[in-house]
Chains A and B, each alone.
Chain A
Amino acid sequence: MTLSGTYVLRRVLIALPSLLGISVVLFTVLALAPGDPFGDIVSNPNIPAEVAANLRIKFGMDDPVMVRYFRWLFAMLQGDWGFSFASRINVDTLILQRLPTTLLVVGSSQILALLIALPVGVYAATRPYSLFDQIANTLTFVGFSLPTFFTGLLLILVFSIQLDWLPFVYRADITSTGWHFYWDHFKQTIMPVTVLALFQAASWTRYVRSAALDVVKLDYVTTARSKGLKERVVVMKHVVRNAMIPVVTLVALQVPAIFGGAIVTEQIFRVPGIGSLLISAILANDTPVIMAVTFVFSCLVIFFNLLADILYAWLDPRIALS
């Protein structure tokens, strides 16, 4: 059951070229863009031409693309992410302020989604074409056909406007103290987390169901049953673990979509995370922040894919050996 260090190291080494590849894509997009997205100062008409030309030379804006790419890459790697035009503080400080909120919302929504998808999917697979399975199947279709922005608005409409139970604006500066503080925090997190969780749970339930359905027909499950094992043990130890293997792969493919959903959700509920930071930076033409946030999202995607790879090897030791 232990995971070999060499396997983990190998996966990390495979993840690095992807990160480099993503940085190339990001920089290419930036380099192809017309004008000087970073040249806020240089294109400012109030600055005399010769000063602007000197600035261009100083920042190396006319250097060959390769030189500019490596300069940008090394700056990113050293944590020198530039200065936000709009907020007048360093980009890395800005992102570090916002990142924990995003990770909290995304993380708890994924756990909630898993808590829904796993039992529902496995239960539906053990009773295929039953009433429960059909209802679950219909609900999953509804779930992933409902875009996150519409679910968010519906929840606000019902729980904030009609029932007035939950606040629809996420506030970072809650004034209450003691356990009231945690309660208020919990209340304002419910809706964003639910929106994200429902969307994910819908597609995961489908994956879990079809993966579990493939596994329950296999001979070793019949063997486990005929040994006289309890149904619970058969399902938990024999079906679920093996059904999880393909599910992990599919979930890893969904990671970019999860962060996409997080951007929308943060925007609806005004959660102060990096997703809403990205949108406000775009509206304010704040290029350094936009680039940095996109880069952070890429790193997060790569990181979670790496995590999925490692989880995959833990679930299926054959992977690490081959």
Chain B
Amino acid sequence: MATTLSPNTSDAVIEAARPKPISLSQDIWRRFKRHRLALLGTVILFIIVVGVIIGPWIWTVPINEIDFAARLKPPSWRHPFGTDDLGQDLLARMLYGGRISMAVGLAAMFIAIVVGTVIGAIAGMSRGIVDTALMWVTDLFLSLPQLPLLLLIIYLFRDSLKKVVGPEVGVFVLVVVVIGGFRWMPVARLVRAQFLSLREKEFVEAARALGASRTRQVVRHIMPNALGPVIVAGTIDVAAAIIAESTLSFLGLGFPPDIPTWGRMLFDAKDYLDIAPYWALFPGMLIFLTVLSINYIGDGLRDALDPRRVMG
């Protein structure tokens, strides 16, 4: 009895020694947490997002209240981020601009992901001519000069879209569609590569042997396993879309002047760098912080979603 334990106690000992079972999402969170900068990025991005969502309700200064007595004032209690050349409050304008930047980033990412996944999935599932043709188109889009084309399309279509749906919505739709339309290619390539390897795996073969239809194979078996890299690419696409929108606005060709996006504020501020540097610094820093946080989150997700990269 001294060496052999009774069946009951041994079970209890094994039960205690075995780590608690954890779900997939807990496992991902555990690995994500280990990337400290990604965690910090999440916190910062969360603060920025909450700030631009509820901020305009707390800081109720109108974005277009012109006050020439207070023009180009450095930060103060009345105007925490200072004022621009028309005396408009920069904090209110930045909060409003943040909403647009975030919305553009998310919507463009969504378009890029959907288009990229569909094209990548079709190319990955079909062999031969369809695959070749789709990949040729993908490569063609990859070698298009994106910013010049973006500018060309906005130049050609801006006025007519404005007439149809109004200046704000028109430019928003145009910017989102065009930015998203030029960012799906990396996603398509990723998805196709994933599909090519996954569709030959045993578990897909097993599903096929059980008589699963093509759609079911894709939706239930292949797609969930191909999702990791797509999520990572999608995260980074948000950052890229925010930069693209800011670039357009910075060139003076994005949203109309009365809509204060972050890039537009930099565009307006660049001629006053010597007397009002804070005007450019605040929106610039905000773009930088947002993009940096998103990039770090993407990096953390990459580690968390791909167990092969980080052991344990």
Contact = CB atoms under 8 A, between A and B. Distances in A.
B140 A157 contact: no
Contacts of B136: 21
Contacts of A293: 148
Interface stretch (A82-90, A137-145, A172-180): A137-145
B248 to A, nearest CB: 10
Consensus secondary structure, chain A interface:
helix
Interface string A282-304: 11010000110110011011100
A25 B140 contact: yes
Nearest to B154: A282
A278 B148 contact: yes
A110 interface: no
A103 to B, nearest CB: 15
Contacts of B239: 145
A12 B253 CA distance: 36
Nearest to B239: A145
B287 interface: yes
A51 to B, nearest CB: 25
Interface in A22-46: 22, 25-26, 29-30, 33-35, 37
Interface of A: 18, 21-22, 25-26, 29-30, 33-35, 37, 138, 141-142, 144-150, 153-154, 156-157, 161, 253, 255-257, 259-260, 263-264, 267-268, 278-279, 282-283, 285, 290-291, 293-294, 297-298, 300-302, 305
Given A18-B140, A294-B149, 5 more contacts: A34-B159, A147-B246, A157-B273, A256-B145, A282-B151
30 contacts: A21-B136, A25-B144, A25-B149, A34-B157, A138-B37, A141-B37, A141-B299, A144-B295, A145-B292, A147-B246, A148-B247, A149-B247, A150-B284, A150-B288, A153-B270, A153-B273, A154-B284, A156-B273, A157-B273, A253-B142, A256-B144, A259-B148, A263-B251, A267-B251, A279-B251, A279-B253, A290-B155, A294-B148, A297-B148, A301-B143
Interface of B: 37, 136, 139-140, 142-149, 151-153, 155-157, 159-160, 239, 243, 246-247, 250-253, 263, 266, 269-270, 273-274, 277, 280-281, 284, 287-288, 291-292, 295-296, 299
Q: Which 4 A-B residue pairings sit nearest by Cβ, starting from the closest?
A: A260-B147, A33-B156, A297-B145, A145-B292
